[in-house]
Chains A and B, each alone.
Chain A
Amino acid sequence: MGNIRLSNVSKTFGTQEVIRDLNLNIEDGEFVVFVGPSGCGKSTLLRLIAGLEDVSDGRIEINGADVTDLAPARRGLSMVFQSYALYPHMSVRSNIAFPLRMAGLDKAAIDRKVAEAARVLNLTDYLTRKPRQLSGGQRQRVAIGRAIVREPTAFLFDEPLSNLDAALRVNMRLEISELHQQLGTTMIYVTHDQIEAMTMADKIVVLNKGVVEQVGSPMELYRTPANLFVAGFIGSPRMNFINGNEAAKVGASVIGVRPEHMTMSPDDGRWCGEVGVAEHLGSDTFLHVKVDGIGQITARAPGEIDLRHGEKIFLSPEPGKMHLFGQNGEIVSASGAVS
């Protein structure tokens, strides 16, 4: 069981309100990702759940029990820190064994659990090394090992991959997802990278300035963003936002169309523009098109497209893939049916 419920949780540092009246329910076994720009309060929220910070107001429940005033160690959660926070003077074995030793397990049980964790994480050959003798990815795995031996109710990850290089990050992403499949334990994962959020999450919580903007599965957020912030944050490259006259024509304040939902044509379409930069990725080409009276629009084209700088092109949104936002930035018509 690993059900976590936050009710009306607030956190202020001095006069700065970092988390504002936040409600959230995390189901047992879910992989939940908190995503948002840097400084929006993701780490703070995670630390509130962990018990490393006290809430200013509100209630935290784990499996139905109120843990708001419980010490971190008593909440049954494990955390993997951004810096890994390994104990530098201890061997890998001692690092992984540390929580078990603190829990007072006997030596045989500790050895068995450490060996098992090392096997799962491919660390068996490194057990006698010190953390500084390991690569970034190995350190990461030791930190995860230290977290799993405790068999916690839920795992908390704070940007665990941000210190790794790009290739390793993709690998570890898969490993963590696999670990979640194997263990079936609730995981809460903090990141500022929307790709990590999209690829790993069962449920994404989009945070902005300490407020939850939207909660939903990756595809829900992609298809039906609730407001401009979520629409701009989820999806890569970013959604195009068009305001002014064009938007007013369809009765909205802002129109949003994703680059992959643009159709291109050399002679006919809704908006006419000039190709600026074309970014060739091989599989796709991203065209940055300058449209008169609207500005820059990004469109995704097939990889093999042959277009030159300055060429004329017509862009039209795919039917039913337009998002209309009102004055306050909230959605008024999801996947706007446009005349």
Chain B
Amino acid sequence: MATMHTRSIARLMMAPSVILLLGWMLIPLSMTLYFSFLRYNLLMPGMEDWAGVFNYEYFVTDPAFVTALVNTLVLVGSVLVISVGGGLLMALLLNQPIFGQGIVRLLVIAPFFVMPTVSALVWKNMFMHPVYGLFASLAHGLGLPAIDWLSSAPLLSIILIVSWQWLPFAALILLTALQSLDEEQMEAAEMDGASAVRRFAHITLPHLARAITVVILIETIFLLSVFAEILVTTSGGPGYDSTNLSYLIYTQALLQFDVGGASAGGIIAVILANIVAIFLIRLIGKNLET
């Protein structure tokens, strides 16, 4: 139990970091908010004036906006499903005593250490390339025509690349959680007559609930702002087929030099992220309670 005294000291001690973090967050946020109400284009410097909600209207009524919004949600959702599902399988496998366990675990974790741009380039040129790619060679080997992944299934390609990056993260977190599962609980369930599948459903999954929640929350935060992978591979195309919100904001700001419009997009993205966060916390946050 903290006394009044220790609590106020604690507040005082925390103040510098809290103030720093708040400033770090609030200043850019309020500047973005301010810019989003200006007619502010870098091609016409010195002509900034008040634009009201025009930037928002413009951004939202852009046909690309809805596409980007849907793409963002599809990307986040699919990568979550693939990485959590696959990560769970992988963690279960890695938790078995196998020969060369250390090396295998290291290899599985490796993709997480590869920079997004690098891994996207590797995928683009070595796997998905219609001429030199591994997938193309495989298709040829089977007597099938090669698929140009990045232009015929751009969003799916991005999803695959991003999933490949996040699978190790999920597997690693879930593996540590699995290792903390009390062996005697599993044995008790075994003696209680639960089959392997039911042991998984009744003991393992509930034990992992908290870790899965953490994985979903952390991944969602990062997946909402996937950018490098798109820039390096498809550049959002063809058309807007693989453009997500952060990429759309980038095209606004840096390709069309429209700072006002991009700021409005940024604010919309912040609002979207908050809606997703509230929704997630409502849905699964109760798992985090002790």
Contact = CB atoms under 8 A, between A and B. Distances in A.
Contacts of B209: 89
A73 B188 contact: no
Given A85-B184, A89-B207, A72 B190 contact: yes
Contacts of A77: 191
Nearest to A83: B184
B191 A73 contact: yes
Given A85-B182, A85-B184, A87-B202, A103 B191 contact: no
Contacts of A146: 188, 192
B90 to A, nearest CB: 23
B191 A79 contact: yes
B186 to A, nearest CB: 9
A87 B194 CA distance: 13
A79 B193 CA distance: 12
A87 B190 contact: no
A44 to B, nearest CB: 13
Contact of B192 (A52, A73, A83, A88): A73
B206 interface: yes
Which of B187, B198, B203 has the largest count of A CB atoms less than 10 A from its CB? B187
Contacts of B191: 50-52, 72-73, 77-79
B202 A98 contact: yes
B129 to A, nearest CB: 48
A98 B187 contact: no
B190 A102 contact: no
Contact of B182 (A52, A71, A72, A83): A83
B195 to A, nearest CB: 8
A220 B203 CA distance: 45
Interface in B151-205: 182, 184-185, 187-194, 198, 202-203
Contacts, number: 56
Which of B184, B192, B194 has the largest count of A CB atoms less than 10 A from its CB? B192
A71 B193 CA distance: 9
A50 to B, nearest CB: 6
Nearest to B199: A102
Given A102-B192, A102-B194, A146-B192, A81 B206 contact: no
B163 to A, nearest CB: 29
20 contacts: A52-B191, A71-B190, A73-B190, A73-B193, A79-B188, A81-B188, A83-B182, A83-B184, A85-B187, A87-B189, A87-B202, A88-B207, A89-B207, A98-B189, A98-B192, A102-B198, A103-B193, A146-B188, A146-B192, A150-B192
Nearest to A132: B290
A88 B207 CA distance: 8
State the main secondary structure of chain A at its contact with B.
loop
Interface of B: 182, 184-185, 187-194, 198, 202-203, 206-207, 209
Interface in A112-150: 146, 150
Contacts of A79: 187-188, 191
Contacts of B203: 87
Contact of B187 (A81, A86, A103): A81
A99 interface: yes
Given A83-B182, A89-B207, A99 B202 contact: no
B206 A85 contact: no
Interface string A186-229: 00000000000000000000000000000000000000000000
A97 to B, nearest CB: 10
Given A73-B194, A102-B194, 17 more contacts: A50-B191, A51-B191, A52-B187, A71-B190, A72-B187, A72-B190, A72-B191, A85-B184, A87-B189, A87-B203, A89-B207, A89-B209, A98-B189, A99-B192, A102-B192, A146-B188, A146-B192
A85 B190 CA distance: 12
Nearest to A79: B191
Nearest to B209: A89
B71 to A, nearest CB: 37
A81 B192 contact: no
Contacts of B193: 73, 99, 102-103
Contacts of B206: 87, 89
A99 B189 CA distance: 8
A50 B189 CA distance: 13
A325 B185 CA distance: 45
Contacts of A99: 192-193
Contacts of A85: 182, 184-185, 187-188
Contacts of B207: 88-89
A88 B204 CA distance: 11
Nearest to B186: A85
A197 B289 CA distance: 42
Contacts of A102: 192-194, 198
Interface string A66-104: 000001110001110111011111000000001100110
Contacts of A81: 184, 187-188
Nearest to A149: B192
A72 B206 CA distance: 23
Nearest to A156: B191
A78 B209 CA distance: 28
Contacts of B189: 87, 98
Interface in A35-86: 50-52, 71-73, 77-79, 81-83, 85-86
Nearest to A104: B193
B49 to A, nearest CB: 59
Which of B185, B188, B190 has the largest count of A CB atoms less than 10 A from its CB? B188
Which of B187, B193, B203 has the largest count of A CB atoms less than 10 A from its CB? B193
Nearest to A52: B187
